[in-house]
Structure 1
Amino acid sequence: MDTTTGTFPTFPQGTKVASLGGGHGLFQTLTAVRLLHPDTITAIVTVADDGGSSGRIRRELGQIPPGDLRMALSALAPRDDEGRMWEATLQHRFGGSGALAGHAVGNMLIAGLYDILQSEVAALDVVAKLIRAEGRVLPVCEQPLEIEAEVGGLDADPRIVRQVRGQVAVATTVGSVRRARLVPENAVACEEAMTALQDADLITLGPGSWFTSVVPHLLVPGVTDVLERCTGMKIVVVNLDAEPGETAGFTAERYLHILQQHAASFTADVVIVDEHSVPNEADRTYLARAAANIGAKLAFHDVREEDSSGYYKSRHDPKKLAAALGAEYLAARGQ
């Protein structure tokens, strides 16, 4: 695979991909997956956001927050002039200081369609058809969720653990997140999303804000059961860097421990880690053990984006990630 020219082998005919995540991490993953030309792509998106435009729609209308769903739709817009126009339109935010200030056009469109159709899945399917999306976007469940985390380090005594509730509060906490849970705990998984997981030949999880975009999927009742039963290959993509707030100080190994802590039965086939993120051989050994604990092979690839001056950024390069995903999937199939 030549990541400089953007030339990639296509997936075998009929390949179905399901990608779990949210926000910018899922956007990069979907952009990467599209380069491999699978037969179908399904984005399965977290619905716990409570900030900005999404939070306002959630509070005022009682709907699931549309922001991460909108971003996934934008990632699947065609790469022609009309598709780029729709991507820009969905992502566009109103300016000014009035009631619409800060709202994203795509959020308003999804919210309006839900009011008319009374179905989140139907509303998302309509937007996907409108923009000619090269894939389907589904919520992991059709009700808004809240994230509640146990956070230490907020008091002088580090042994004291406090409950912090809300996606924004958890993502920006100055303490150390130890564990997260969903409210309500008995949320019902989206049936169409579970079917997509069952049918997928390749399932990706991550990268993204770990406690607010990645782990929540594993906390929705039934999701880990479906992941246990499914026959598709499962690839975890580990974040490049620790984020200020929820994952401050995290090592690559810690991300995997957190997955196992929150879903003891979760297993994967491959864990992809950026080859520049873990240069120490001893750390790589520990990381390989952590991957083995969830049944996975550890795979190092160059997946970090660089700017025009050659400096690394804190996000995955879609072409490099496509090369890594394609190589691991085809290798597992003996191709």
Structure 2
Amino acid sequence: MSATRRLPPQRARRVVALGGGHGLAASLSALRLLPTDLTGVVTVADNGGSSGRLRDELGILPPGDLRMALAALCGDDQWGRTWADVLQHRFRTEGELHGHAVGNLLIAAVWERLGDHVAGLDLVGRLLGAQGRVLPMTSVPIEITAEVVMHDQPGELTTIRGQVEVASTDGDVVSVSLEPSDPPACPEAVEAILAADDVVIGPGSWFTSVIPNLLVPELRDALVRTSAKRVLVLNLANQPGETDGFTAETHLEVLAAHAPELDIDVVLADDRVVDETGSLDAMVKGLGGRLVRTPVATSPQSDQHDSLRLAAAFRRIFDELDDRGRGATGRW
């Protein structure tokens, strides 16, 4: 693509990152270091821990992954670091507060007062000085349902319901779906995707954080229709109980099976997850994109993404997408 696509210097790049949990937090922590107008779109299917308890008791969206995304957007000054720590603090008591995160309770209280998910999250974001916006992928609580081949029942499919149950299954997940199957997308999330310059998908728990965003019909349609470039970030390690035995190629096969109409412009992978046979490169090209390989972990053995390395990778990818478009394999 011609270099004329490069954004004018006076406008921040509009970037939307989708996912949940620690994976989305990693992307947001890196992207906020760049000159971006940043929005996180968060999976809201958690049914365990503090989030699950508040969801059951108050009938609200599970706030935990939203809290983590907001904490990731806190600045590096004293105010930001202090509020990030406060949000993530969990009570340790012998009573009913045990295990609850302060941020979950804060978000729940603001929602109850305002009666609006988006307005509540925006208000909390302003309190924190968050360097971006956080939105739920849908306005209603959802359940994840998975078809699983249990290890003690080979050849038979078993249906498992619930995010925690799917993430910890003693079996091989074949596919996931949502209940309800067509939840209404958050309108602001759809608008952000359609207006974005770039959309980042992953990393994160593949079946319970990454794929669910692609199963909300209005979000998936927006991801297909947007003129934004789509960047997929692969995980550094498999998740026990959810993606045991997966290769990088398997992750892409799963994504393509759940959203076959979705093209990907760039797949970002750490060198250690790439098989030198070239099969991943071929699969990425089959999705319409190119493979970029670069170290993005905190250390060679770590399964955590390093914010600075990931930010540098995003910067180079965005610049190359402006200048080159699709079609070439990169190794930095």
The CA deviation at 1:17 is 0.7
What does residue 217 of structure 1 align with? 213
User: Retained in 2: the 8 A contact 1:149–1:164?
Assistant: yes
Alignment RMSD: 1.4
What does residue 3 of structure 1 align with? none
The CA deviation at 1:132 is 1.0
- Mapped to 1, the partners of 2:133 and 2:280 lie a distance apart of 34
The CA deviation at 1:11 is 9.7
Q: Is 1:261 the equivalent of 2:257?
A: yes
What does residue 123 of structure 2 align with? 126
Q: Is 1:271 the equivalent of 2:264?
A: no
The CA deviation at 1:169 is 0.4
- Greater alpha carbon shift after TM alignment, 54-63 vs 291-300: 291-300
Aligned mate of 1:240, from 214, 236, 258: 236
- Mapped to 2, the partners of 1:35 and 1:168 lie a distance apart of 32
What does residue 303 of structure 2 align with? 314
The CA deviation at 1:275 is 1.0
Letter in 2 for 1:29: S
What does residue 298 of structure 2 align with? 305
Q: Secondary structure at the match of 2:176?
A: strand
Q: TM-score, normalised by structure 1?
A: 0.92
Q: Is 1:102 the equivalent of 2:99?
A: yes
Share of identical aligned residues, percent? 47
Q: Is 1:177 the equivalent of 2:173?
A: yes
User: Retained in 1: the 8 A contact 2:12–2:35?
Assistant: no
What does residue 140 of structure 1 align with? 137
The CA deviation at 1:82 is 1.1
The CA deviation at 1:153 is 2.6
The CA deviation at 1:332 is 1.4
- Mapped to 2, the partners of 1:264 and 1:49 lie a distance apart of 25
Deviations 1:203-252 (Å, cap 9, x if unpaired)?
10000000000000000111121111111111000111111101000000
Which runs of no fewer than 5 residues in structure 2 stay unpaired? 1-6, 325-332
- Mapped to 2, the partners of 1:84 and 1:281 lie a distance apart of 41
- Mapped to 1, the partners of 2:30 and 2:285 lie a distance apart of 26
What does residue 26 of structure 2 align with? 28
Q: Is 1:296 the equivalent of 2:292?
A: no
Q: Is 1:76 the equivalent of 2:65?
A: no
What does residue 191 of structure 1 align with? 187
Q: TM-score, normalised by structure 2?
A: 0.93
What does residue 3 of structure 2 align with? none
- Mapped to 1, the partners of 2:41 and 2:8 lie a distance apart of 20
- Mapped to 1, the partners of 2:8 and 2:132 lie a distance apart of 15
- Mapped to 2, the partners of 1:45 and 1:239 lie a distance apart of 17
Q: Secondary structure at the match of 1:222?
A: helix
Q: Secondary structure at the match of 1:189?
A: coil
Which runs of no fewer than 5 residues in structure 1 stay unpaired? 1-9
Q: Secondary structure at the match of 2:243?
A: coil
Following TM superposition, the consecutive aligned residue runs of length 4 or more in structure 1 with deviations greater than 6 angstroms are none
Letter in 2 for 1:119: D
Q: Is 1:286 the equivalent of 2:279?
A: yes
User: Retained in 2: the 8 A contact 1:11–1:37?
Assistant: no
- Mapped to 2, the partners of 1:94 and 1:100 lie a distance apart of 6
Deviations 1:120-179 (Å, cap 9, x if unpaired)?
1111011001111110000000111100000003433x1101001100000001100000
Letter in 1 for 2:14: K
What does residue 6 of structure 1 align with? none
1:197-212, aligned counterparts within 5 Å?
197-212=193-208
User: Retained in 2: the 8 A contact 1:11–1:326?
Assistant: no
Q: Secondary structure at the match of 1:281?
A: coil
The CA deviation at 1:277 is 2.0
- Mapped to 2, the partners of 1:87 and 1:53 lie a distance apart of 17
The 1:11–1:124 alpha-carbon spacing in structure 2 relative to 1, beyond 3 Å, is farther
- Mapped to 2, the partners of 1:11 and 1:88 lie a distance apart of 36
